[in-house]
Structure 1
Amino acid sequence: MPVFISYRHMDRAHAIAINTRLTQAKIRTYLDVLDPESQTTDDITGVITRNITECTHLLAVVSEKTAQSWWVPFEIGEATISNRRICTFKTGPAQLPIYLDKWPKLSTASDLDFFIDAYRDEVSNKRSMALDSISESVKGAYKRDAEMFHEQLKNRIRRGF
């Protein structure tokens, strides 16, 4: 159940810090800067799409710089199509597009800890899985579980505990 970390390269330091925190929590991640294939291929779109498919969660690092990125919205769109668990981690005072309201918005270390707790809950309850070859009824359950993940995490962030 890896977490795909999406970011604009100008926000690389934030993405690396988040990656470090998740790996310290024993959560597998995918970060393109650590993937030699993403550095050496002409088919970066294929690499990104495949890696999102292999992940169960997408955490997008967003800042005022993200608005000029084509990749972060593309990656969020790819994750949406396959009902991945999606969250944003907002850095700075950026005004985020309204479509991101659908998913939990993290902005502090505590929020990231809430994400880690929610991720672990999914692992222990086996609600999150890869979607390579599962039936439509299982995909429907997976979508409902993703919506539940999003709603529960949003509520916890709102409560602050």
Structure 2
Amino acid sequence: MPVFISYRQKDRQVAFAISEKFRANNIKYYLDVVDEESLTTDDITSVITKNIQRCTHLIAVISANTKGSWWVPFEIGEATIISRRICSYAYKTEGAPLLRSTIDIYKSFLPEYLHKWPILVNERDIDAFIRQYKSDKEESITLESLGSISSRLESLSAYGADQFHKNLKASL
């Protein structure tokens, strides 16, 4: 159940910080700059699409730097099509994390289509994502132990993603 980290190159340091948090919590993730195939291919679109399909979750790093990016919206779109669990990590470009009380102000900056999913704005929110991810993973393992293919498919379905989003939003 890896997490795909989507970001614009200008936000690489934030993406690395999130990946380090995942590594510290034993969460597998995909980050293009540590993937040899993505660095050497002539068909980056296929590599990105394949890796989104391999992941169950996607976190999109969103800042003022994201404006003008073609890849971040593409990656979010690909994850949406296949009902992945999607979150945005929104931060001010000068690096100062947002306070939860300012989320409504920041929502006005984010594209409207991102409001549908949980918006993470600080380290506490990343910790909530990690807790929900682990809970989601435990549920998936339980479903797999039942041996039912339909149960496993349901855990990756739109319903499973909707439950993840609902539970994470409630914990923020």
Q: Please, what TM-score do these two structures have when normalized by structure 2?
A: 0.83
Q: 1:87 to 1:141 in 2, by over 3 A?
A: closer
Aligned partners of 1:42 and 1:87: how far apart in 2? Answer: 29
Moved over 4 A (4+): none
Aligned partners of 1:36 and 1:91: how far apart in 2? Answer: 28
Instruction: Give a deviation string over 1:7-32, Cα, whole Å, max 9, x none.
Output: 00000000000000011000000000
- Give the total of aligned pairs: 152
1:19 corresponds in structure 2 to 19
For structure 1, the residue ranges without an aligned partner over 5 or more in a row are: none
1:151 corresponds in structure 2 to 166
- 2:50 corresponds to 1:47: no
Instruction: Give a deviation string over 1:81-118, Cα, whole Å, max 9, x none.
Output: 00000000001176100110110000100000000000
Q: Equivalent residues in 2 for 1:81-100 (5 A)?
A: 81-92=81-92, 95-100=109-114
2:74 corresponds in structure 1 to 74
Letter of the 2:130 partner, please give it.
I
Letter of the 1:154 partner, please give it.
K
SS where residue 65 of structure 1 aligns? helix
Instruction: Give a deviation string over 1:43-82, Cα, whole Å, max 9, x none.
Output: 0000000000000000000001111100000000000000
Q: Say which one has the larger Rg.
A: 2
Higher relative contact order, chain-length normalized (CA < 8 Å, sep 6+):
1
**Alpha-carbon deviation of 1:140?**
8.7
Q: Equivalent residues in 2 for 1:124-139 (5 A)?
A: 124-126=138-140, 138=153
Aligned partners of 2:155 and 2:60: how far apart in 1? Answer: 24
Percent of paired sites with the same residue: 51
Aligned partners of 1:3 and 1:42: how far apart in 2? Answer: 24
1:101 pairs, out of 115, 130, 137, with 115
Q: Please, what TM-score do these two structures have when normalized by structure 1?
A: 0.88
**Alpha-carbon deviation of 1:120?**
0.2
Cα RMSD for the two superposed structures: 2.1
For structure 2, the residue ranges without an aligned partner over 5 or more in a row are: 94-105
